[in-house]
Amino acid sequence: MKYTVMLQWDPEAAVWVATSEDIIGLVLECGSVDALVERVRYAVPELLELNHQQPAEGICFRMERYERISA
C-alpha cells in the first residue's frame, strides 16, 4: 500500500510538520525537510504496525510552503 504524507511549513514555529490522513498518529516536526523525511521513513513502519495497518510499499511526500511577498 502507498501512503501519502504532507509536509507543511509552520512559519510561527519555523519548522516543517509532517502529517498524514492515511497513517494514524503521524505528527512529526523538524527544522529541515531532509531531516523530517528521514524521521518519517523510520516512524511510519512502527506506526503502521501499532495501528494494525498494512505495511507501506512506498510513501508519497507532498510539500507545501506559503510565503507572503510584500512590495
Domain extents in the chain: 2-64
pLDDT, averaged across the chain:
95
Please give the model's pTM, rounded to 2 decimal places: 0.89
For residue 22, what is the DSSP state?
S
Res 45 pLDDT > 90: yes
Query: CA–CA separation, 22 vs 58, rounded Å?
Result: 12
Amino acid at 2: K
Does the 2-64 domain belong in CATH 1.10.10.10?
no
Q: How confident is the model at residue 70 (pLDDT cuts 50, 70, 90)?
A: confident
